Copies of this chain bind each other. A is one copy, B any other.
Amino acid sequence: MFSNNLTMMTDLYELTMMQGYFFEGNNDTVVFDVFYRKNPSGSAYAIACGLDQVIDYIKNLSFSYEDIDYLRGLGIFKEDFLSYLAGFHFSGDIYAIPEGSVVFPKEPLVKVIAPIMEAQLVETAILNIINHQSLIATKASRVDYAAGGGVMEFGLRRAQGPDAGTLGARAAVIGGCTGTSNVLAGELYGIPVQGTHAHSWIMSFPDELTAFRTYAKMYPDACILLVDTYDTLKSGVPHAIEVFKEMRDAGITSKLMGIRLDSGDIAYLSKKARKMLDDAGFTNAIISASSDLDEYLINSLKTQGCTVTSWGVGTNLITSSDNPAFGGVYKLAAIKKPGDKEFTAKIKISENPEKITNPGNKTIYRIYDKESSKIKADLICLVGETFDPSEDLKIFDPISTWKKSILPAGSYQIREMLVPIFLNGQCVYSSPTVMDIKAYCQQELNTLWDENRRLMNPQTVYVDLSQKLFDLKHKLLGDEK
């Protein structure tokens, strides 16, 4: 619903803190990490998504005259600070893991290095965008995995607002869907749009057969008929077959024909319908289904021998209904005061060890098994650390430190995951098209082992700390070893 200037879409406390820094004369450069603590929906991974919208957001950052006037009206900001805001632009650096990458807990998905006031302002919008799209892309990859392909995103009417439906469709296609019903998402992101007709189409005609016939005449090449308005097996499927026979008799060859089931016992109905279609010679006719589906229901239907090959998934995908929020957070990791050469690492301590942050200006190396190209582990390191794949590499679990592993020289490959997006306020990154991100995401998912992808109790992917980062962390915890 909004313009692409989301500058004001921030928590009030970002602005009150900024004003505090402003009048304190705080010109520190800081490092903030966006990371999450737990994969959604019991998954062993997540899909990073939303970076292109973060780029748009940063590029468009500026307060309008009306914004300043509104802020003035709140009565909590002073004129000097409002003047500063009126001239605000982002001058810092941003690093990020490319969209479509598989990612794991604790890893900085986005890293902001900027003057403290700038870094503070952008917290909320970056989290909002990355949290939302990463959530939906991850869910889509799970649904697609269960279905073995052929998942269409059909959730616009149940999405949490226009953006959720439209950016959500973008994320769903990146994560694995073949297309979306959302025409706006198709137009904006160049992704396939799909869909046929509703029950109301059938009800607007005197009878089902006429409704089907009219539809087939209009759309012979994408003729998926919804068969459950009255009685699926006694009326819907026989009428669809009658229309398909008329098309065959008229010499019309269709690129895509078939039926859609939107209610009832999909396993039973799809098997019966498959037999009826096959017996009539329509072995190419596809059977699609759409009825409160998610990855678990699709998995169950497939184990029941359901013959559906095309899945329209709505509510449970577009809202990630079993886990509707991605818990990305934005935490201070380092500070460099004016005149300092190096960053001073910062740590947030918590009674819960899982909530203790990783300090310092960090990067991530991903270690692949050379033979299989699968992920062996990720290594969170301090910027500047390097590893030579022609040498043995010792990695260890940062919590259960006795769990050690040595990767022999030559057996592994290394890739740095964080890439520069903005440097000194200038965008240095060009986002691929959504369909290219989707293709890249598919490659990324192929770097996971089967055991990481299964729906229930998947094997965790190791995310280790480098020795140097581990030592720094424990030094800051006052736990010198």
Contacts and interface: CB of A to CB of B under 8 A. Distances in A.
A187 B16 contact: no
Contacts of A203: 332, 346, 348
A125 B16 CA distance: 36
A124 B127 CA distance: 28
B120 A132 contact: no
Interface stretch (A22-30, A277-285, A433-441, A458-466): A22-30
Given A70-B187, A167-B1, A349-B230, A158 B19 contact: no
Contacts of A214: 20, 24
B67 A9 contact: no
Contacts of A335: 204
Interface stretch (A191-199, A300-308, A392-400): A191-199
A29 to B, nearest CB: 11
Interface in A325-372: 325-328, 330-332, 335, 346, 348-352, 355
A34 to B, nearest CB: 10
Most buried by B among A156, A158, A183, A219: A183
A204 B26 contact: yes
A116 interface: yes
A353 B184 CA distance: 35
Contacts of A332: 199-200, 203-204
A346 B199 CA distance: 12
A131 to B, nearest CB: 6
Interface string A431-464: 0000000000000000000000000000000000
Contacts of A199: 331-332, 348
Interface string A284-327: 00000000000000000000000000000001000111001111
Most chain B beta carbons < 10 A, residue from A16, A56, A168: A16
A15 interface: yes
B1 A163 contact: yes
Interface in A1-59: 1-4, 6, 8-13, 15-17, 19-21, 23-24, 26, 28, 30, 32, 53, 56
A110 interface: no
Contacts of A129: 161-162
A307 B164 CA distance: 37
Contacts of A157: 11, 123-124, 127-128, 131, 328, 330
Residue picked from A11, A135, A154, most chain B C-beta under 10 Å: A11
Nearest to A346: B203
A120 B200 CA distance: 9
A263 interface: yes
A31 B374 CA distance: 56
A95 interface: no
Given A15-B183, A182-B9, A160 B324 contact: yes
Contacts of A53: 1
B348 A229 contact: yes
B167 A161 contact: yes
Contacts of A167: 1, 161
Contact of A9 (B15, B183, B215): B183
Interface in A113-139: 116, 120, 123-125, 127-129, 131-133, 135-136
A12 B194 contact: yes
A406 interface: no
A181 B11 contact: yes
Contacts of A320: 324
14 contacts: A1-B163, A11-B181, A17-B200, A17-B201, A32-B200, A74-B193, A76-B222, A128-B162, A132-B159, A135-B160, A160-B161, A163-B164, A164-B164, A203-B348
List the 9 closest A-B pairs by CB distance, nearest first.
A161-B163, A13-B195, A12-B195, A163-B163, A127-B157, A324-B324, A8-B184, A160-B164, A11-B181
